[in-house]
Structure 1
Amino acid sequence: MPLPLPIQRSCDIYYRHLAVKGRGSPLWLPAANWNLPVEYRRTGISIGDVGLVTADGSFDFLFNILLPPDHHVHVGRVPETFSPLHPPLRLEDIEIQEQFTEDSYLASATVEKRQRDGQQHSSGLTFETTDSEGAILTIPNGSDSCKLLNVTRFKDYLAANVESWYYYANGPRGREAKNGDLRLVIGWDKAKAWGMATFSRSSNAATSIRLDFKPSEQAGRTYKWEYSGMAEGKTGPSSREIASLRRASEPEDVTFTNQCLFIRTINHLLPNGVWARLKATKFGAIKKEDSDEDFDEDSEEDSDEFSKAGKAKTTSSTARPLDRGPVALNQLADSSLTTSLLFHPSTSINKHLLKENPDARIAITEDVIWMSVLTKMIPCLLTVTLLRE
């Protein structure tokens, strides 16, 4: 009998179970940092944002490659040599669609939706499970989805500028980002309101866990969770957050579609030689605990699961993911006993690509590659990029 998973933070449980839904990286904290300009917070994460996914499940915004350096969202905080993508994107380069309708949800496979109290028409959602661990995302007002269509230009821009991004992030901004940590946003799912819940217990039990998500009559709250057992639930955004974004001329019931549930990104990895040069010249001496030995020491799971991720013989080539069954995210993340949110599935793919192509100066992949491996999708040809010296 397999050992039960150790009890972890709710943000780790949430990431592990919702990442396999094929929407990208789920954010446990969907709102933007309250210290960012109000103009940014009213919109939330956007196409072209450069930043990091934090250990707590938020997106740490640094700058946007589509905005000029003097834009009010940047407030002058961009790399010294920064210049935005030129020429600008065209409107038809970005697609926006309604992704989920009202009263939608995503949940772990073992979570079942129930009718509350046997009623055919009841307000809210009720879930039950007997599993040991899982997560639920409710989207009561629906959500919108945005996707970049002209991805090639973003890949080229990243390849040409990513080294300066690390100088900036780890120098003036002091983020201590590791190789591959910086993400370039090419897609998102946003909502006006949400509910998130996780549950965890030492083992499966005969008794079920029940979680009710429903409208709240409490002042300052729109929705609430009611549940029993080892569960945690939260809803948002709060009335305080909405009020902080509302202009004086706007009505009190104004809402914003700025809560980012998922982000999809372009992901990269630099060869250990290039990374060592960056750290030695700008970030100070290489620390032993953060040396490039970490890059070389792939786990058996990484090298095996993605051994067929692809071999590129030209600058831009295709790679076919594994034809075997889906890879469980917890098999990769939990094996190292690290925070799940600090593990990005693209890292394993990019490591393998660089090992198979030692003369490449950078490996670049999109989230669509690891999402196709982690979900039960029919394998298809997917594009990866390797730029050579």
Structure 2
Amino acid sequence: MADSQVYARQLLPKKHGYPMYYPEPLDDLPLEYRKRGVGIGDVGIIKPNGAFQFVFNIFILWTESNPGINCFGVPDGFVPMELGRRPAARNQNKHIKGSAIMSNCEKSTAASGSIGVGDGSIPSAAAGTIGFNVTSSSSETALLTMPDGALGEDYYNDTAIRSFSIANALSWYEFINVKLGRAAPNGSLYVVTGCDKSTAWGIATVEKHSSSRSLSLQFTAIKGLLGASYSCSWAVTGGAVPRSSLAAEDFALGADIKQPQNQCLFVRGYKIMAREGLMALQSPSELVAVESITDHSKSDSLLRQNDRSFPGNASEGRSWIGRVTGYQGGGKSNRESDDGWSTEKELDPHVGAYHPLDTINRYLLENTQAQVAITHESDWWALSPVCPYPPRCSAGLLIEIRTRLSQMRLKSSAVWPPIMHFR
């Protein structure tokens, strides 16, 4: 199991959003983007390694002479969404200095000082060390430390982002997979509505700890002089895998640049999945309302992926819809003709990062007439009591989804293609 997957599935139930194993912006992005990091309105993909691959921002006007952060271009016919006045709720101290979020471990007494001591205004560096113990009974452990705390921001009108995404999702898949030639697996498209960001952090994971002795980890953060950035490091015993943020000067942000809050610890937003075997467009008058969910015969296979649903495995000459959804034409989808949903191939960790929303989106497409399913990061939080350890809780999660959806009058959206929301 990749360390990024251990980290994500242990911290997902904490309900802060998707935990980013690589919070730092990717090096190939413009300086303007690297200074701000992942932000509201970003469209991209959460990669299997836990990094956010930025594609474009829905609020940024793009021109060939002045692309801004939309350095890769924008989809054909793209018109940016209006940001609005005071568009986001912002909490500068959502996570206080020296705080930590952890799973299957406990904080021990600080070895020296305390995380986040001092503000750099005195002529000496401030240092803090904090320890963590991993119990011998823990099968997996993940922890995140925030020596400088972290801010949180969320777009007020996330339903506007949802509507904008509904109207443009398929063209965004086309842009990423065809024009840019990147691999955007069906269901991987992510639109950011909120995030938590920091200046410094430490991450550690432990997989399958079976020793009779507990593991110990010590995280040290040293704050430089006169407001300089933190220098972070780990000291670990046993099989722990640590990561930590770099100092500002190591990010090549420019001379005398104070470390910005550009390290994205958690991301919140919409995940979008198109129906596998998307058929040719029909007239909106043929939309079908779904009154209840009764057919659950394939629920035990909803967490399985079909190779044909991923772009890149398609044969030459197929349309972009086929490359995105697996549709081959001829009046039947792959699912109808081949029942690809029952394949025994589990989700390939090298293809897509697991998320509980994938389960919800597949269920919606399996049990409704919707062509596209769109769900928000917070939509599965109400289900988390039956899913405390994703993705090993598919049975309980699916039962809860069935129960909730069977009590609703589910109707496709009035827009075309028909969309199913889970909210």
* TM-score, scaled to structure 1: 0.76
Instruction: Give the partner amino acid of 2:379.
Output: I
Any unmatched runs of 5+ in structure 2? 116-127, 282-310, 388-399, 419-423
SS in 1 for 2:365: helix
Selected match of 1:231 from 211, 225, 240: 240
Say if 2:102 is the partner of 1:92. Answer: no
1:196-243 CA-partner distances (Å, limit 9, x unpaired)? 01112452x32010001113599x97121111101111210344434x
Say if 2:70 is the partner of 1:74. Answer: yes
SS in 2 for 1:16: helix
SS in 1 for 2:61: coil
Instruction: Please say which of residues 368-377 and 193-202 is displaced more in the overlay.
Output: 368-377
1: CA distance, partners of 2:319 / 2:385: 41
Instruction: Please say which of residues 257-266 and 207-216 is displaced more in the overlay.
Output: 207-216
Corresponding residue number in structure 2 for 1:124: 129
Instruction: Give the partner amino acid of 1:281.
Output: S
1:344, distance to aligned residue in structure 2 (A): 1.9
Instruction: Please say which of residues 129-138 and 30-39 is displaced more in the overlay.
Output: 129-138
Among all aligned residue pairs of Structure 1 and Structure 2, give the percentage whose two residues are the same amino acid.
30
**Coordinate RMSD, CA, aligned:** 3.5
1:146-185, aligned counterparts within 5 Å?
146-185=153-192
1:33, distance to aligned residue in structure 2 (A): 1.2
Distance 1:371 1:285, change over 3 A: closer
Instruction: Give the partner amino acid of 1:207.
Output: R
1:291-325 CA-partner distances (Å, limit 9, x unpaired)? 9549851699xxxxxxxxxxxxxxxxxxxxxxxxx
Distance 1:375 1:107, change over 3 A: farther
- Contact 2:47 2:53 (8 Å CA) reproduced: yes
Distance 1:265 1:125, change over 3 A: same
2: CA distance, partners of 1:286 / 1:154: 22
1: CA distance, partners of 2:56 / 2:371: 24
* TM-score, scaled to structure 2: 0.70
1:92, distance to aligned residue in structure 2 (A): 3.4
Instruction: Give the partner amino acid of 2:239.
Output: M
SS in 2 for 1:128: strand
Corresponding residue number in structure 1 for 2:380: 370
2: CA distance, partners of 1:189 / 1:156: 23
Distance 1:361 1:236, change over 3 A: same
2: CA distance, partners of 1:41 / 1:18: 25
Selected match of 1:29 from 22, 25, 36: 22
Instruction: Give the partner amino acid of 2:341.
Output: E
Distance 1:17 1:275, change over 3 A: farther
1:117-140 CA-partner distances (Å, limit 9, x unpaired)? 5x8968322110122321110001
1: CA distance, partners of 2:218 / 2:233: 8
SS in 2 for 1:199: strand
- Contact 2:193 2:268 (8 Å CA) reproduced: yes
1:82-113 CA-partner distances (Å, limit 9, x unpaired)? 1111xx122333111121000001111x2011
1: CA distance, partners of 2:209 / 2:320: 46
1:138-149, aligned counterparts within 5 Å?
138-149=145-156
Say if 2:349 is the partner of 1:344. Answer: no
Instruction: Please say which of residues 227-236 and 338-347 is displaced more in the overlay.
Output: 338-347
